[in-house]
Amino acid sequence: MNHPLLTDTDRLARLFGAIAIRAGRAIMKSRDAANAPQYKGDGSPVTAADLAADAVIRRELAQHLPGVLVITEESCSAVTAAYADRFILVDPLDGTREFIKGSTEFTVNIGLIEHGSPVAGAVHAPALGLLYVGGKTAYRARLGNADADPFSDAMQPIAVRPEPPEGWHVVVSRSHLDPATKEWIGRHRVAEHRPAGSSLKFCLVAEGEADVYPRLGPTMEWDTAAGHAVLSAAGGSVMDLDGRPMQYGKPDFRNGSFIAWGKGGGTI
């Protein structure tokens, strides 16, 4: 399908951002239900907020981009993207465990994949009032209130920064700081490392608040696609441990280990 939006990645990323904001409102309305999660077959939790956001995103994408394959965390068992040239990956609530604990570091992630690579994406952190979008260019908006227009003067371009002389500032998973990641940090010139939740780690690198995000454990494609798109638009990259660009559309949607880099990449 050749919808006009699909050829303008900046416009598409902003559409994803607008949809993510609507999904974020649904999450915040359902936040009281976070204390009563259900658990899927793999042991991961799902709340009423996950499902409410999923419904909003599916409805909006079907309206604006009819015919485009949409894969969300809540529907992955029913579809495959292994042979699709173009599809949308959605995590309606990334960081559900943090959300249940009352953390503010959860996000809505929407990203378009073309030929295995993310080309447009939006990451929205509703409890923080932050929106990141990336197509050809990456932008961040600080939303003043629930009814604010994020696509006005609030939208500011962002970019990765040069490597600081004191060493890398590393951002790591708040919930999954494993021994392999600690060992990786120990082998490199690192000035500091800080934890963060959900796909916000990609965004911190994209806006120059950090230099690298190593993830030496499993993730799913919907966890990373939108943040990957934002980081790429900001001048960064995401590589596997052999230095190859991370690809999407695997039959099980499972990522291997990767490093998300800021300016110019680095040494694995």
User: SS3 for 35?
Assistant: helix
Q: Which residues contact 164 (CB under 8 A, 6 or more apart)?
A: 191, 211
pLDDT digits (tens, 9 = 90+) for 161-205: 998 999 999 999 887 778 888 899 999 999 999 989 899 999 999
C-alpha 140 chain-centroid distance? 13
How high is the pLDDT of residue 55?
Answer: 95
Pairing between strand 254-255 and 219-220? Answer: antiparallel
Cα separation, 137 vs 188, in Å, equals: 30
DSSP for 204-240, written as a single string: HHHTTS-SEEEE-S-EEHHHHHHHHHHHHHTT-EEEE
| C-alpha radius of gyration, the chain, whole number | 17
- Level-2 CATH architecture, domain 4-158: 2-Layer Sandwich (3.30)
Domain residues of the chain, as ranges?
A: 4-158, 168-261
Assess whether the region 4-158 and the region 168-261 belong to the same CATH fold.
Answer: no
What residue type is 96 in one-letter code? Answer: T
How high is the pLDDT of residue 76?
Answer: 66
How high is the pLDDT of residue 113?
Answer: 97
Report pTM.
0.93
Cα separation, 122 vs 18, in Å, equals: 9
Alpha helices in 73-220 (DSSP H): 96-101, 179-186, 200-206
Q: Residue 74, class by beta-carbon neighbours within 10 Å (0-12 exposed, 13-18 middle, 19+ buried)?
A: buried
The proportion of the chain whose per-residue pLDDT surpasses 70, expressed as a percent, equals 87
CA dihedral 124, 175, 168, 216 (to 10 degrees): -110
The DSSP H or E segment spanning 250 is none
CATH 3.40.190.80 fits 168-261, yes or no: yes
Cα separation, 144 vs 162, in Å, equals: 30
Q: What is the pLDDT along the chain (268 residues), one digit of tens a residue?
A: 567 778 899 999 999 999 999 999 999 998 765 556 676 666 677 788 999 999 999 999 999 999 999 999 987 655 666 667 899 999 999 988 888 888 899 999 999 999 999 999 999 999 999 999 999 999 999 987 655 566 666 789 999 999 899 999 999 988 777 888 889 999 999 999 998 989 999 999 999 999 999 999 889 999 999 999 999 999 999 999 999 999 999 988 999 999 999 986 666 6
